[in-house]
A and B are shown apart, each in its own frame.
Chain A
Amino acid sequence: MKTLKIEELSKNFGSTEVLRKINLEIDEGNFLVLLGPSGCGKSTLLNIIAGLETINEGDVFIDDYNVSKVEPKDRNIAMVFQSYALYPSMNVRENMIFGLKQAKTSKEKIEEQLEKVSKFLQVDQLLERKPSQLSGGQRQRVAIGRALVREPRIFLFDEPLSNLDAKLRVEMRREIKKLHQQLKTTVVYVTHDQTEAMSLGTNIAIMNHGVIQQNDTPENIYNKPSNTFVADFIGSPSMNLIKGNLKENSGDIFFTANGSNLEVPIKDYEFKDKSNLNNKEVFFGIRPEHIFFKKFNETDFEITLRPDLSEYIGHEQIMTFDYANQEVLAKFPSTIKIDLGKETKLYFDLTQASLFDAKTEERI
């Protein structure tokens, strides 16, 4: 039984297609992050799961029960919003029990839940305050509390941290992670922040233009992006995508960048399909953090490139190199001194490389 299942879901606003044939499944207790640039449809998808938006095609199942036409309040979900959406005229207590009162829960049960949750979230001292008298972090906690008291099957979070300042955001991120570890509830979490997605999710679904590009563990998203969009979207700075061709030579496969003669050996790469690789136009993908200044592994490939630009950011520096007129970025500790314009030896960790078809932009 899947806690949440979405089948062939499509949604348009008038003539604009927002979601196209979305399929998604979440197991009990998982933390799914919907990640994507703004306008990719991730918030719409969350609203559809909540029942706040109608569906054009497809179905949503919660515990194998088709809830596509069920009212939000009967879906057994709870949602935390970006603006927290605490009711301004009610104090914290009234905010937290509003849903239970609507559901005609007994007084004893309400009090019991309120006490449990407010202690757990450490807001029990704030119960008589109005939302306007709370700090950002406290509001956040009350908003989570309002969701918790209902003991939902699925928690929905709509960019809950983006209204907080940078420091508080990191703190609250850790609190949400802890919360999930303790409660083990199923969570669907929408964000455009990749650090948030990586650190929180057990699964990440990357969306673009209303389509799920890749739905995988954070490790696979990072190490084995399924197409150039994902490769480019994850990581800062993002993955280098070097345009070139594959050459097959008596069983061994090499990559040569456009305008270069240097053959980069592709060994131990898990191709999806080993046929027709010769002369294939590809992007060779390597992350800036997988380019080293010193040889670390036996398999590291030595290459000499000219540094053109250096960006110092404290604990590290980002160097831009010229590779046959294509830019290649690398990340080094800031203690290393590199002279601009002077050819420098670098080492590519080829075990971390990715290859994408230049036409379809899919991983090969």
Chain B
Amino acid sequence: MQDNLKSSSYQQLEQKSKYTNMFLRWFLYFILIVFASYFIFPLYVMVVTSLKTMEEIRQGTLLSWPSGLNLESWAVAWGGRGYGAGDTFLRPYFWNSIKMVVPAVFFSTFIGAMTGYVLTKWRFKGDQWVFLFLLFGCFIPFQAILLPMARTLGVLGISNSVVGLVLVHTVYGIPFTTLFFRNYYVSVPTELVKAARIDGAGFFKIFFKILLPISAPIIVVTVIWQFTQIWNDFLFGSTFSFGEAAPIQVALNNMVLSSTSVKEYNVDMASAIIAGIPTLIVYVLAGKYFIRGLTSGAVKG
């Protein structure tokens, strides 16, 4: 009798906790869906609008579905309409940005790896201070250095050029890249360097043969970070370049803001998406490593 009573009450409890769990689970999904829609909504509007004709935009609502796969606005955004003056389109500026971002990412990553290597494996007197001052670079608001930088570029004769922008982005990337690589190399046992020194390897050989081959995770992190920063930069681009030397973000701004006649929302949206695609691609390709590299850095022999 008592056993029966007991087991039935256990069953009731079990039932009850089952319902509670189910309710909580659905509630969780509900919240997640709400937030997901909140974040996906602008992208939806952008994509949908870019596929509409101006007629549709004027007549339909913001959320309405386009009548068909109308890619004309994308073509206009990328290649222009083909008539002379005042026709701004993204293609040349896209290549400007590529020409700027590739060397800038390469140099800042490489230099950051070097400084990180020196600061952890070839300690010298005052290295802590050097690192501290480098860290300041991460916190200085970029607006503060616009004027001195403009003057420097002028003296060097590379203002309003892609080369100038490469230099600016390399210099201002170094604090971040150094921080990444230093924190990664701190976890690499210094005994590796000692062993290599006894084996007869020098400063550069140790870096290229021993450390760089095990740095893939942090290189990926640094490249994504630098690529995103430099590609999306507007401030330096708009300050240190104009006209034909401008990077894509500046061109996008000019395109959207300077159109004299009717606002072409579909072209604007297509342009904005084009300007954002490269960073998206980098994230999709290397995002997995990004998370992994940020959270763990340890290399075990």
- List A residues at the B interface (Cβ < 8 Å): 47, 50-52, 72-73, 77-79, 81-89, 98-99, 102-103, 131-132, 139, 146, 158
A83:B189 contact, CB within 8 angstroms: yes
Q: Chain B contacts of A73 at CB under 8 A?
A: 197-200
Any A CB within 8 A of the CB of B55: no
A50:B189 contact, CB within 8 angstroms: no
Any A CB within 8 A of the CB of B45: no
- Pick the contact of A102: B192, B200, B300, B301 (CB < 8 A): B200
Q: How large is the interface on B (under 10, 10 to 19, 20 to 34, 35 or more residues)?
A: 10 to 19
Q: Chain B contacts of A78 at CB under 8 A?
A: 198
Any A CB within 8 A of the CB of B196: yes
B300:A87 contact, CB within 8 angstroms: no
Given contacts A83-B189, A99-B199, A132-B300, contact A88 B194 (CB under 8 A): no
- Pick the contact of B194: A85, A86, A131, A132 (CB < 8 A): A85
A89:B191 contact, CB within 8 angstroms: no
Q: Chain B contacts of A158 at CB under 8 A?
A: 191
Any A CB within 8 A of the CB of B147: no
Q: Chain B contacts of A85 at CB under 8 A?
A: 189, 191-192, 194-195, 301
B301:A88 contact, CB within 8 angstroms: yes
- Pick the contact of A79: B189, B195, B300 (CB < 8 A): B195
Q: Chain A contacts of B132 at CB under 8 A?
A: none
Whole-angstrom distance between the Cβ of A137 and the nearest chain B Cβ: 14
Interface membership of chain B positions 213-245, coded 1 if the CB is closer than 8 angstroms to chain A and 0 otherwise = 110000000000000000000000000000000
Sample (30) of A-B pairs whose CB atoms are under 8 Å apart:
A52-B198, A72-B197, A73-B198, A73-B199, A73-B200, A79-B194, A79-B198, A81-B194, A83-B191, A85-B189, A85-B191, A85-B195, A86-B301, A87-B192, A87-B195, A87-B196, A87-B209, A87-B210, A88-B192, A88-B213, A88-B299, A88-B300, A88-B301, A99-B199, A102-B205, A103-B200, A131-B301, A132-B301, A146-B199, A158-B191
Any A CB within 8 A of the CB of B201: yes
Complex formed: what's the CA distance from A72 to B189 in Å? Answer: 18
Complex formed: what's the CA distance from A99 to B194 in Å? Answer: 12
Whole-angstrom distance between the Cβ of A97 and the nearest chain B Cβ: 10
Complex formed: what's the CA distance from A77 to B301 in Å? Answer: 22
- Pick the contact of A99: B189, B198, B213, B301 (CB < 8 A): B198
Q: Chain B contacts of A47 at CB under 8 A?
A: 194
Complex formed: what's the CA distance from A263 to B247 in Å? Answer: 97
Complex formed: what's the CA distance from A87 to B208 in Å? Answer: 12
A102:B214 contact, CB within 8 angstroms: no
Whole-angstrom distance between the Cβ of B124 and the nearest chain A Cβ: 12
Q: Chain A contacts of B205 at CB under 8 A?
A: 102
B301:A98 contact, CB within 8 angstroms: no
A83:B198 contact, CB within 8 angstroms: no
Complex formed: what's the CA distance from A158 to B198 in Å? Answer: 14
Q: Chain A contacts of B214 at CB under 8 A?
A: 88-89
Given contacts A79-B198, A102-B200, contact A89 B301 (CB under 8 A): no
A98:B201 contact, CB within 8 angstroms: yes
B197:A84 contact, CB within 8 angstroms: no
Whole-angstrom distance between the Cβ of B158 and the nearest chain A Cβ: 38
Q: Chain B contacts of A98 at CB under 8 A?
A: 196, 199, 201
Q: Chain B contacts of A132 at CB under 8 A?
A: 300-301
Q: Chain A contacts of B199 at CB under 8 A?
A: 73, 98-99, 102, 146
Q: Which single residue of chain A is at the shortest CB-CB distance from B210?
A: A87
Q: Chain A contacts of B195 at CB under 8 A?
A: 79, 81, 85, 87, 146
